[in-house]
Every structure is written in structure tokens, then in C-alpha cells.
Amino acid sequence: MIGILLEIGLLFLRIGLAYCEALISAIVPPRRKNITGEVVLITGAGHGIGRCLALEFAKVGAKLVLWDINQEGNEETAAEIRTIGVSVNTYTVDVTQKDEIYNAAAKVQREVGNVDILVNNAGILHGIELLRLSDEQIERIIAVNTMAHFWTIRTFLPNMIQRNHGHIVTIASMAAKQGVARLVDYTASKYAVAGLTEALSDEIRDMKKTGIKTTTVCPFFVDTGMTKYPNQRFPKLNPLLEPEQVAMEAVDGVLRNKVEIIIPSNLKLSLSLKNPLVPRKVGQLVMDFFDVGIAAQDSEPNKDKDI
């Protein structure tokens, strides 16, 4: 009896300390880690956020490994990185093909070496109603946005575990936090990888591999050409994000080992509406007020686009 009371007392003490720690790191952010010479692999590096992430990681001295289905876009990113003067290797990979992932990973191990930071960024978005999507579009979005994360993580994690060193970065979305009309498939694919990363970080903690970190990045609408018809009532309040800004905040957060990055950070407030103690209708009223979502399209739906 005394034992359990002591334990409960200790638990509250540690909870208090955890709050203090969080408060302190909010005021004085943890120092950025030095990743000079570390190998960063980015999927979907040929366009948009992926390209900007590659540039940001290059600026802090990382060696880049760029994967994309689009060889031309990927080479353009590589050319920009070479001007910064860091090493870069490119691989043409269709991440919907598990075998291509495994083959490319083996090549990376041979030609570059251990991957220190894995950034699962490749993603597609359709932006139309569930019933207007084809079966193939749904299968493809899950293959790119979700399944590919399983295959890359299962490929690169064992080596990270061996070395007790590594970082898994998941480029999710605010759609991993809040479902929106016309993003049913996309929302499902992003909730899935946010859940994957959260559960995986617990598994890593279970294994006591303290040298392996995870980061989930949740940006609001980004101007990459993928989100064709974003809606919102106060665009001045939360303008469409530029991929450069998302990449800068994401890399800064990764270097500080942040577990989750909400971009822009003022949207953290809106996440309190997801608390089960808040009636569902309250969240809907606020969403309606801000008119956030994807505009309905009568005619041509978004083209399937790889980034």
C-alpha cells in the first residue's frame, strides 16, 4: 500500500518535471544537432517540399540521397545541391513498387553507405469527392502516401537499430489531424502515416534505442501545385505556405529532435478542438467559420500528380 502511494507520488513529481522540461524547451529551444556528413535520404525529392528539404539539408552539410519517380526533376534538384558543394546521389524509384525500393536501398548502401536520416516525403493528392475517385486512384494514393513508408522504414531501420543512431521523418499534413471534404483518401493516407510514426516511436522507446528519433511534420496547405483549389476565408491569417518555408521549419525541427511540427504553429490552437471533451459540432462550427477545405469542382478533377 505504502509502495503504490510512493509510486503515485513519484509519478506526479515526474509529470511536473516533464511539464517544466516542455516549458523550458518552448522558451529556450534545444540546440540544433550537427549533421555534417550524415546521409539524408529523401523520397519525392524532384519537386515541391522534397526539393526544398534537400536544399535545406544540404545547407547544414548533410550528404544527400535523392529518390524520385521523375528522373528529370530529381536531377534538377541534384544540380542545385551540387552548387552548395555537398555530395549528392540520385536514384529513380517508383515507391509504389516494393522491389524498386528494396533494390534502390541496396544500391544506396553499396554506393553511399548507412542512411542516418530517412525522410518519407513522396506524396500525391487528388482533391475530389470519394465517389468521384476511381478505385485505382485510391489504391495509388495509399501506395504512395502510406505503404511506401512501411517499405522504406523496414529497409533502413534495422541498420539504425544496429548503430543506435538515426532519424525517421514523416512528411504528413494537417490532414493527419483533421479530416476535410474532398480529401477523404488523402486524409486516410496521412492519418495512417502519422499513426505509424507515433506507434513506431513507442516501439523504438521500448527497445531503448534512444539514439533513434522520429519527427512528424504537419503542414497546412502548401503551394506546390498539388492542392489546386484550397479554400479559406482569411488567407491573410494563414496564407498558402511556400514549400521553402515548410522545408526550413521542418529541417529546423528535425535538428532539434522535435517529435511533431505543426506549420504554421498557430494551428496548434485549432487542434484543441479535436479533444474528445469538445463537442464535434463545435469543431465543425469553427471550421465553417474559417471555411477551410478544398473547393468543389464541377468539371475536371485534379490530375494524378507525383511529387
Ligand X SMILES: *[C@@H]1O[C@H](CO)[C@@H](O)[C@H](O)[C@H]1NC(C)=O
Q: Where do contacts with ligand X occur on this chain (CB under 6 A)?
A: 34, 36-37
Q: Which residue's CB is nearer to ligand X, number 38 or number 185?
A: 38
The phi and psi torsions of 59 (rounded to 5 degrees) equal -60, -25
The Cα 173–Cα 27 span in angstroms is 25
- For residue 63, the minimal CB distance to ligand X (Å) is 12
- For residue 238, the minimal CB distance to ligand X (Å) is 34
* Choice among 91, 186, 191, 229 that is catalytic: 186
The Cα 241–Cα 168 span in angstroms is 23
Distances (CA, A) of 148 to 72, 102, 158, 197, 297: 21, 11, 17, 13, 29
Following DSSP, what letter does each residue of 164-232 receive, concatenated?
T-EEEEEE--GGGTS--TT-HHHHHHHHHHHHHHHHHHHHHHHTT-TTEEEEEEEE--BTTTTS-SEE-
Cis ω for the linkage preceding 158 (within 30 of 0): no
Q: Which residue's CB is nearer to ligand X, number 51 or number 63?
A: 63
244: how many CB neighbours lie within 10 A of its CB? 15
Q: Which residue's CB is nearer to ligand X, number 35 or number 196?
A: 35
- For residue 135, the minimal CB distance to ligand X (Å) is 49
Q: Which residue's CB is nearer to ligand X, number 64 or number 157?
A: 64
Shortest-Cβ-distance residue relative to ligand X: 34
- For residue 164, the minimal CB distance to ligand X (Å) is 17
Q: Is 91 a catalytic residue?
A: no
Q: Which amino acids are annotated catalytic? A: 186
